[in-house]
């Protein structure tokens, strides 16, 4: 009976290969034998970087997010421009704002010393995001591993698939749904804006709008370092209260009309996400649990596994 079951499963998988449902699965124990110290090595490297610059925690989480939303979690975002590759780094949502590439390269270099050609850059991105979260007081989760690295990038998809700071709620919901993430996942992941900073040009219209959805005092404070013209790159913390702590204060800010980006405040604008925002603002455990679960789901977006993709020696280039 057991052998017939195995045969049936094998045949079933062959039939479904075209839909990628039976490709090698990600596993938390993927490197247990081939590189047992991989996670410790990555953690040490990431913590060193965040100790030097606390803001890097937000940047590393964002790096994983911007990678997974374009072609899946395949480290395509890390590829540099070449005669045959139009880099995602130069796409509008990434240009001049996505950072932390050197930190991932440093972690990769350390791993390569003990396990050359084994651990993918895509997996390092996933682990770095988890380690960044825990280092700044956010939740931890078990990272599933076994992703491989792409040999291509998509500047075009980076321009279209990444959610933007001016997106209306409907577009945010549909954009995440297109990646297999629920509205609840979207709100939980938005909570990563509890840390990090945004450039002036991304919130200028909001703080000068005199709109009813922004606290007047908050807008006035933000105008001090974001004039109506010039100084586009001036930074402001996404959360004024606990800017270096990944917590549920982001959702409390929204209740006070103190979301920095339009795409933040729109989560509490009378739509379908209102109840989730209110729940997270009152229940830090619910946010923490849902954030961890959503990060795991995000890490599952279209990974390259098995014989697909490669293990890059240097994250910024094809071997």
Catalytic residues: 66
Distance in angstroms (rounded) separating the CA atoms of residues 193 and 238? 6
- Does residue 209 have a known ligand-binding role? no
3-class state of residue 118 by DSSP: coil
- Does residue 300 have a known ligand-binding role? no
In the block, residue with structure tokens 């195995």: 6
Distance in angstroms (rounded) separating the CA atoms of residues 210 and 216? 7
- Does residue 227 have a known ligand-binding role? no
- Does residue 156 have a known ligand-binding role? no
- Does residue 76 have a known ligand-binding role? yes
Structure tokens at 196: 């990090």
Q: Which of 290, 69, 282 is nearest to 184 (CA)?
A: 290
Residues in the chain: 319
Give the CA dihedral 222, 98, 110, 134, nearest 10 degrees. 50
- Does residue 143 have a known ligand-binding role? no
- Does residue 161 have a known ligand-binding role? no
- Does residue 116 have a known ligand-binding role? no
Q: Does residue 302 contact residue 145 with C-beta atoms inside 8 Å?
A: no
- Does residue 239 have a known ligand-binding role? yes
In the block, residue with structure tokens 């946010």: 287
Q: Can you count the helices (H) and strands (E) in the chain?
A: 14, 2
- Does residue 23 have a known ligand-binding role? no
- Does residue 193 have a known ligand-binding role? yes
Distance in angstroms (rounded) separating the CA atoms of residues 105 and 64? 14
DSSP-assigned letters across all residues of 289-303 = HHHHHHHHHHTTSS-
3-class state of residue 179 by DSSP: coil
Q: Does residue 194 contact residue 245 with C-beta atoms inside 8 Å?
A: yes
CB burial of 33-47 (b: ≥16 within 10 Å; e: otherwise) equals eebeebbebbbebbe
Q: List the binding residues for substrate.
A: 163
Q: List the binding residues for heme b.
A: 193
Q: List the binding residues.
A: 67, 70, 72, 74, 76, 88, 163, 193, 239, 242, 247
Q: List the binding residues for Ca(2+).
A: 67, 70, 72, 74, 76, 88, 239, 242, 247
């Amino acid at each position: 009976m057991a052998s017939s079951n195995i045969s049936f499963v094998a045949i079933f998988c062959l039939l479904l290969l075209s839909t990628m449902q039976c490709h090698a699965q990600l596993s938390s124990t993927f490197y247990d034998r081939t590189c047992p110290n991989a996670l410790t090595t990555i953690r040490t490297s990431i913590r060193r970087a965040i100790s030097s610059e606390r803001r890097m925690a937000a940047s590393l989480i964002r790096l994983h997010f911007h990678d997974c939303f374009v072609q899946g979690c395949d480290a395509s975002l890390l590829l540099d421009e070449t005669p045959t590759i139009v880099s995602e780094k130069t796409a509008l949502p990434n240009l001049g704002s996505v950072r932390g590439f050197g930190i991932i390269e440093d972690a990769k270099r350390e791993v390569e010393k003990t396990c050359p050609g084994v651990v993918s850059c895509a997996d390092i991105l996933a682990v770095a995001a988890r380690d960044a979260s825990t280092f700044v007081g956010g939740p931890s989760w078990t990272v599933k591993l076994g992703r491989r690295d792409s040999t291509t990038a998509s500047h075009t998809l980076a321009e279209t698939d990444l959610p933007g700071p001016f997106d209306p709620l409907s577009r945010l919901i549909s954009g995440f749904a297109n990646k297999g993430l629920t509205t609840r996942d979207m709100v939980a992941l938005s909570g990563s804006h509890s840390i990090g900073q945004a450039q002036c040009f991304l919130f200028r219209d909001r703080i000068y709008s005199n709109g009813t959805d922004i606290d007047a005092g908050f807008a006035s404070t933000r105008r001090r370092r974001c004039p109506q013209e010039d100084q586009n790159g001036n930074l402001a913390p996404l959360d004024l209260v606990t800017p270096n702590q990944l917590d549920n204060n982001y959702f409390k800010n929204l209740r006070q009309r103190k979301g920095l980006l339009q795409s933040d405040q729109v989560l509490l604008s009378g739509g379908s996400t209102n109840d989730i925002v209110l729940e997270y603002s009152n229940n830090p455990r619910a946010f923490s649990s849902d954030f961890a679960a959503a990060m795991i789901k995000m890490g599952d977006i279209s990974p390259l596994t098995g014989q697909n993709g490669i293990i890059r020696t240097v994250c910024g280039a094809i071997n």
